[in-house]
Chains A and B, each alone.
Chain A
Amino acid sequence: MCPTEKNNRNPIWGNVFQSLMKKKDQTRIDLISKIPIFQELSQRELRTVSEILFDRTYEAGEDIFLTDQPGAAMFIITSGRVRILVESSDDTEETILAELEEGDFFGEIALLDNSPRSATARAVTKTELLAIFRADLDKLTMNEPYIAARIMKQLAIVIGMRLKETNRQFASIARQTTS
């Protein structure tokens, strides 16, 4: 915090509110405010969202979820790296689809339906994640539709971009195969 900002704060209420705000909560709010799907939300709205997030820590090499498991939560990386991969039908080979880092999210389809996971997510290094559970997002849609709508919109934009990228890769592979 810069000195000017500190001086501008109300001497009575500013301190009272600062003492009431838990440091950990504020850190988490600062962190999620940088994540694309939450970028349009105000501080109050971010606080509401932070109340439905779960902190998880995974060791290097630990599976976050496996292909074909039911999906119930989306994960946001707050530190570390996560690899998204698919295994061959006999589990002997693995194809890496993507490697994600701080600020990225994965498993977002689980927020929309309860279809099985289409890939495996594995922590590459010690990784800290925030998880958002589908049922909690459904409740947020009921109680705070304005917040939920903006999250959903951002989610749709990101999924759309990922679909475009997949189409581009698919077209590229198709061209290589035909040539």
Chain B
Amino acid sequence: MHPKNDPSIRTIRSRVFYSMAIALAAGAVVYLVFSLSTLILPVLLGIVFAYICQPLLSLMYRNGISRGMSTLILFGSFLVILFLLARYVLGLIPGEFEQLELRASIMQNVNDRYQTYMGLDENLQNGNMIHDFVGPEFDPLMDTFNEWLYLSESNQTNLREWARLQDEETAGRIEALINRLTTMRLYTNPDIPLAESLSISDDTHDESISDDQESVLLGVLNILSLWLVMPVMFLFFLVDNGQMRRGLITIVPNNYFEMVLTVMENVDRAIGNYLRGTLIEIVLMTLTIWILLVMIGFDLGFGLVLALISGIANAIPIFGMFIGIGICVIYALILDDVSALIPLVTVENLILWVIGVHLLAQAIDNAVFKPFVLGKAVSLHPIVVFLGAIIGSILFGFVGLLFAIPAIVILKEIVGTFHRQLKAYFLIY
């Protein structure tokens, strides 16, 4: 019998062919995801931004702007925002000598705060009750921290020379900072000065610094070249007018045609709602944290950057808040002086205020923003959220942590809708 007259053989061959094609495609996707893991974040962000912009594209189209022009306007705006953001962030990165000053400044401020909280005297011999209780654990940590940040002799000399070329005020400030560093002692053994306990030679330290600078430059270039993928993906997905969906549908067997279309539509709606909800939540949380940080004395510009990082990190359940607190606490440690709108805030208790700000923002988020903005979009069990975030971070690091929950939400929606539709189309019981 000619093969075209025997439908059963053709059906079997079709099934074998499609199964092999799907298995190969799945294998290729898994291989690419793991081998090109550095590209995941820019690619995903490009897709996410394109997805978020789809309603804007439709809105512009409805208002008489052609699809091509709408795409061009959105892509242009996206590039301008990226450029301005990159310029602003790069402007915030300190230069070589500013970095040295920052290290010394952080070291001084952290040690001052530690000594204040622990009630330590000048000789580091006697502390308060807190020190008696937690000192044995924290003193070695502080020594390690100091050894890590300590400026070598040559770094101190370089910093002094640079400061002299600036102005008198800078020179005086740097001199005071370096004097403070050189008089520091070990917490675990206050008789020994910190400088003496360090075994790092100047040569190796300098070498490591120059290596660091070189690797930082290369790293920045690498990151920039990787992130060029993001606008490309953004444009690619913005230009797509359902062609990808139509391409996918052509390989779907007739039995599943309507069902797959319905699943795709439901999942598309769920992802859209989730992403737009998350974006609105990020904006609201950024504004809330920014206002609260400014109220406790943070600078407007830095406050906005820190609030933005905290707002984005907040999208990561459980761990997000700690990332926000950590970054703001580091900034609070750098501050020498604070002029807050709230009278009780001082440099010494600023860290507690930072933690308070984040806790208050979390309370507002849980009570007001989440119920209104996200609704029931994320109805995941807390243990699923926790395990998902852990597994995501183990597999893909920070990217995994950031996208684990959206991935679970999408997967849950796909499996749930598929199950409902398979039953509705009498394909399963």
Contacts and interface: CB of A to CB of B under 8 A. Distances in A.
Question: Which applies to chain B's interface (DSSP): helix, strand, loop or mixed?
Answer: helix
Contacts of A30: none
B8 to A, nearest CB: 12
Interface string B17-58: 000000000000000000000000000000000000000001
A106 interface: no
Contact of A131 (B61, B241, B257): B257
Is the interface on chain B under 10, 10 to 19, 20 to 34, or 35 or more residues? Answer: 20 to 34
A119 B246 CA distance: 27
Contact of B242 (A52, A59, A66, A69): A52
Contacts of B62: 142-143
18 contacts: A52-B242, A54-B246, A54-B250, A56-B257, A62-B254, A64-B254, A68-B426, A69-B426, A70-B424, A72-B259, A72-B262, A73-B257, A73-B261, A131-B258, A133-B261, A135-B265, A136-B242, A143-B58
A165 interface: no
Nearest to A59: B7
A51 B249 CA distance: 13
Interface of A: 51-52, 54-56, 58-59, 62, 64-66, 68-73, 131, 133, 135-136, 139, 142-143
Contacts, number: 48
Interface string B206-249: 00000000000000000000000000000000000110001001
Given A55-B250, A135-B265, A72 B258 contact: yes
A136 B241 CA distance: 12
B425 interface: yes
A142 B58 contact: yes
Contacts of B249: 54
Contact of A66 (B250, B262, B426): B426
Please name the 5 residue pairs, one residue from A and one from B, whose CB atoms are nearest each other, closest first.
A135-B265, A72-B258, A70-B424, A72-B262, A133-B261
Contacts of B254: 56, 58, 62, 64
Interface of B: 7, 58, 61-62, 241-242, 246, 249-250, 254, 257-259, 261-262, 265, 421, 424-426
A64 B265 CA distance: 20
A71 to B, nearest CB: 7
Question: Which applies to chain A's interface (DSSP): helix, strand, loop or mixed?
Answer: mixed
Contacts of A71: 258
Contacts of B58: 139, 142-143
Contact of A70 (B7, B241, B262, B265): B262
Contacts of A73: 257-258, 261
Nearest to B57: A143
Nearest to A71: B258
A17 B195 CA distance: 78
A150 B294 CA distance: 56
Contact of A51 (B7, B241, B261, B421): B241
Nearest to B261: A133
Q: Which of B7, B257, B426 has the most CB of A within 10 A?
A: B257
Nearest to A60: B7
A69 to B, nearest CB: 5
A69 B61 contact: no
A51 B242 contact: yes
A19 B2 CA distance: 40
Contacts of B262: 70, 72
B378 to A, nearest CB: 23
Nearest to B58: A143
Contacts of A52: 242
Contacts of A62: 254
Contacts of B261: 54, 72-73, 133, 135
A65 B250 contact: no
Contacts of B425: 69-70
Contacts of B265: 133, 135
Contacts of B424: 69-70
B105 to A, nearest CB: 56
A77 to B, nearest CB: 15
